[in-house]
């Protein structure tokens, strides 16, 4: 069982995403649990604010250290492992990718801290956070969507979540190749036909065709992955 624990001022944002489709199934199968903690419940004084002006001036507000530390201590006290991974989604973090998702999927407890406004007090980052992660070179309004994206990509790697576990292994990035094209019925849709080879029943030919499609696509769209793929292939030889 992997436990996802999210600290956020906007817990309702998680309702739909964690209660539909594969993420819901993972919960029902006891493979994953999701605990969403409302940051407002961790103020020392309920009349206090969760944010404040930055010292030294500047635009925007910062999330205060106090409620985040309180929430973290309270969550941590329920874990057996005293040093949980604590993820802070932030555009100035290290870029998220498949291997990070795989690494995190092997943990039993993860804590996500959702930042807002201009960010969070640096002392939270220095004292609590273990992983500062960006989901791409663009800026979102808060850490909720990046957290959900990471949770989704981690959960689907857990054995028993996808009906066809093998299919996750064929996904883009598993072996540095992008995924290729897929077709389903009908064979002829508005005069556009499924490639003949897929109807041939010749498994070797089909396998070679898929690999060729994936290689060509990767070469065209992602030279960085293509270089990695080629070097792994040479190593294997
Ligand atoms: N918060 C705001 N923008 C973000 C991004 N690109 N990645 C992760 N967290 C963020």
Name the closest-CA residue to atom 10, ligand 1.
Answer: 90
pLDDT digits (tens, 9 = 90+) for 88-105: 999 999 999 999 999 999
Q: Which atom of ligand 1 is nearest to the CA of 136?
A: 6
Tell me, using a 6 A CB cutoff, whether residue 140 lines ligand 1: yes
Give the mean model confidence (pLDDT) for residues 68-89.
94
For residue 236, the model assigns a pLDDT of 83
For residue 173, the model assigns a pLDDT of 76
What's the 171 CA to ligand 1 centre distance in angstroms?
24
For residue 165, the model assigns a pLDDT of 72
pTM: 0.94
Q: Which atom of ligand 1 is nearest to the CA of 138?
A: 6
Q: Write down the residue that tokens 């957290």 correspond to.
A: 147
Give the mean model confidence (pLDDT) for residues 45-54.
93
For residue 170, the model assigns a pLDDT of 64
Distance CA 228, CA 142 (A): 33
pLDDT digits (tens, 9 = 90+) for 203-215: 999 999 999 999 9
Tell me, using a 6 A CB cutoff, whether residue 117 lines ligand 1: no
Give the 3-state secondary structure of the chain. CEEEEEEECCHHHHHHHHCCHHHHHHHHCCCEEEEEEEHHHHCCCCCCCCEECCCCCCCCCEECHHHHHHHHHHHHCCCCCCCCEEEEEEEEEEECCHHHHHHHHCCCEEEEECCECCCECHHHHHHCCCEEEECCCCCCCECHHHHHHHHHHHHCCCCCCCCCHHHHHCCCCCCCCCCCCCCCCCCEECCEECCHHHHCCCHHHHHHHHHHHHHHHHHHHCHHHHHHHHHHHHHHC
Name the closest-CA residue to atom 7, ligand 1.
Answer: 134
Name the closest-CA residue to atom 4, ligand 1.
Answer: 91
CA neighbours closer than 13 Å in the CB half-sphere of residue 82: 0
Tell me, using a 6 A CB cutoff, whether residue 119 lines ligand 1: no
What's the 202 CA to ligand 1 centre distance in angstroms?
46
Which residues, in sequence order, are CB contacts of 39 under 8 Å at separation 6+?
A: 7, 8, 9, 50, 63, 67, 68, 71, 114
For residue 169, the model assigns a pLDDT of 65
For residue 10, the model assigns a pLDDT of 98
For residue 132, the model assigns a pLDDT of 98
Tell me, using a 6 A CB cutoff, whether residue 67 lines ligand 1: no
Distance CA 172, CA 106 (A): 20
Domains of the chain: 2-155 (3.40.1280.10), 170-236 (1.10.1270.20)
Give the mean model confidence (pLDDT) for residues 77-95.
93
pLDDT band at 77 (very low <50, low <70, confident <90, very high): very high
Tell me, using a 6 A CB cutoff, whether residue 136 lines ligand 1: yes
Q: Which residue has the higher pLDDT, 217 or 116?
A: 217
What the block records as the tokens of 189 is 């849709």
Q: Is the pLDDT of residue 114 over 80?
A: yes
- The answer to whether the bond into 64 is cis (omega within 30° of 0) is no
What's the 115 CA to ligand 1 centre distance in angstroms?
9
Q: Which atom of ligand 1 is nearest to the CA of 141?
A: 2
Best mutation site among 90, 137, 141 for ligand 1 pocket (most ligand atoms within 8 Å of CB):
90
Across all residues in the chain, what is the average pLDDT? 95
For residue 94, the model assigns a pLDDT of 98
Strand partners, 34: 4
In the chain, the percentage of residues whose pLDDT exceeds 90 is 87
pLDDT digits (tens, 9 = 90+) for 142-197: 999 999 999 999 999 999 999 877 767 667 777 899 999 999 999 999 999 999 99
For residue 46, the model assigns a pLDDT of 85
Q: Is the pLDDT of residue 37 over 70?
A: yes
Q: CA dist 165 to 152, 156, 190, Å?
A: 15, 9, 33
For residue 202, the model assigns a pLDDT of 98
């Amino acid at each position: 069982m992997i436990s996802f624990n999210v600290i956020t001022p906007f817990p309702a944002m998680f309702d739909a995403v964690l209660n539909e489709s594969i993420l819901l199934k993972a919960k029902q199968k006891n493979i994953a649990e999701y605990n969403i903690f409302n940051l407002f419940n961790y103020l020392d004084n309920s009349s206090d604010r969760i944010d404040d002006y930055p010292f030294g001036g500047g635009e925007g507000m910062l999330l205060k250290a106090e409620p985040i530390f309180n929430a973290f201590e309270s969550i941590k006290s329920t874990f057996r492992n005293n040093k949980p991974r604590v993820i802070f989604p932030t555009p100035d973090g290290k870029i998220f990718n498949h291997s990070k998702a795989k690494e995190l999927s092997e943990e039993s407890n993860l804590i996500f801290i959702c930042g807002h406004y201009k960010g969070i007090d640096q002392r939270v980052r220095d004292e609590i956070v273990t992983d500062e992660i960006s989901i791409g070179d663009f800026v979102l309004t808060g850490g909720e969507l990046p957290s959900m994206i990471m949770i989704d990509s981690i959960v689907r790697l857990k054995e028993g979540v996808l009906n066809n576990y093998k299919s996750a292994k064929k996904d883009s990035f598993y072996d540095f190749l992008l995924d290729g094209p897929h077709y389903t019925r009908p064979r002829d849709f508005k005069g556009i036909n499924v490639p003949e080879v897929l109807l041939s029943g010749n498994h070797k030919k089909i396998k070679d065709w898929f690999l060729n499609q994936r290689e060509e696509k990767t070469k065209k769209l992602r030279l960085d992955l293509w270089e990695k793929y080629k070097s792994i292939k040479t190593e294997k030889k």
